[in-house]
Chains A and B, each alone.
Chain A
Amino acid sequence: MNQSVFRLTLPILFGYLPLGMAFGVLFTTQLDYPWWAAPLMGLVVYAGAGQILAVSLLAVNAGLLEVLIAMFVLNARHLFYGLSLLGQFRGAGWRKAYLIFGLTDETYSLLTSRSRSGDRHHEQAVDFRITLFNQCYWVAGCAAGALLGANVTFDSTGIEFALVALFIVLTIEQFRALGDSFPIWTGAAAAAVATFLLPAAHQLIGAILMVTLVLLIQYRRLRSARLQEGLEHG
């Protein structure tokens, strides 16, 4: 199982190591705190954009209430991820808390895109490994970046494109599994609108709100169409 999970999470490794390192470098070069606080944040917070924002908040000694609100707003998109995993995580026992804790953009993408067998207990164990592997990559990246500081010599410019490529591949796979391109176009259009209208920090949550709204409208229309049909045939 470990080998197949490693294969599945390999693109995340290529994305998380450099991004985690970027955070680690930023942390030690901008702040006066001990280096190990960077991997510690990767361990207990585990949020890419959130941790980068945390560095700038730490630098200005931001008030804790402000930190709480800023972090919640920045990560608010995760509120919608759980909705599609309620059934999948049901009955996962002790693993469940960790599965929820580790629900980053990338882990969510893998967990909702991969093919599954009928054996739910086994699939939850695989989900758990995927989440754990991903976090290991992230923490390792944070630690490496913090230790190396500004002395990073390997020119890895652009390697984080692995995550963009992963999202593209998973979009194609989602389309194949669903056989319906409507949500794909909705997502892309919402993202385009959000990037034109909103500042970078609010683009993801703005686009997710738009997408959810469109899906709600679609749900209502489908339901009233079904009711109509029921009336005509009933």
Chain B
Amino acid sequence: MAESWYLAAFIGVTAIATFATRVIPFLFFERHTDHPLIKHLGRYLPAAVMALLATVFLQRSANWSADVPGLDALLPGLLVVVIHLWRRNALLSIAAGTIAYMTIQQLALVPA
């Protein structure tokens, strides 16, 4: 019984902490939507965050102790860029990159 109370409280606390990080900007900056600084951040932040997420997660997908460090993720990543610049079809680029990565990982094409 004590265990299920702990679990319930744990999930509640986890949910509150996560929601807090998402709602705080809306509570404190709602009235400043038209401030030039908020507009500046709103304009440039998404692009910077996207590049940042791509870089961090690409780095984490790679094996950096392989013969050619990182090749197992950089190659599929490059494939995504090339195919996307060529056809500009998001699903196609993502599918091609994912299949390439899965093939490399599952067949261990790049020796570890």
Interface size on A, residues (CB 8 A): 96
**A113 with B46: CB separation less than 8 A:** yes
How many contacts A-B (CB < 8 Å)?
A: 265
Measured CA separation A83–B35 after assembly (Å): 11
Taking a contact as CB atoms closer than 8 A, the residue among A33, A76, A83, A101 that contacts B29 in the complex is A83
Interface size on B, residues (CB 8 A): 67
Residue of chain A at shortest CB distance from B103: A158
Taking a contact as CB atoms closer than 8 A, the residue among A7, A69, A167, A223 that contacts B36 in the complex is A223
Measured CA separation A171–B57 after assembly (Å): 13
Contacts of B55 on A, CB cut-off 8 Å?
Answer: 187-188, 191-192, 195
Q: For the complex, is A132 an interface residue (Cβ under 8 Å from B)?
A: no
Question: Which residues in chain B, 22-51, are within 8 Å of chain A measured between CB atoms?
Answer: 22-26, 29-30, 32-33, 36-38, 40-51
Q: For the complex, is A125 an interface residue (Cβ under 8 Å from B)?
A: no
- The residues of B with any CB-CB pair to A shorter than 8 Å are 3, 6-7, 9-11, 13-26, 29-30, 32-33, 36-38, 40-61, 73, 76-77, 80-81, 84-85, 90-91, 93-94, 97-98, 101-102, 104-106
A-B contact sample (4 more), CB < 8 A, given A46-B18, A222-B40: A11-B94, A82-B24, A103-B22, A215-B48
- The residues of A with any CB-CB pair to B shorter than 8 Å are 7, 10-11, 14, 33, 37, 40-41, 44-47, 50-51, 54, 57-58, 61, 64, 67-69, 71-72, 75-87, 89-90, 96, 100-101, 103, 105, 108-109, 112-113, 155-159, 161-175, 178, 180, 182-188, 190-192, 194-195, 200, 203-204, 207-208, 211-212, 214-216, 218-219, 222-223
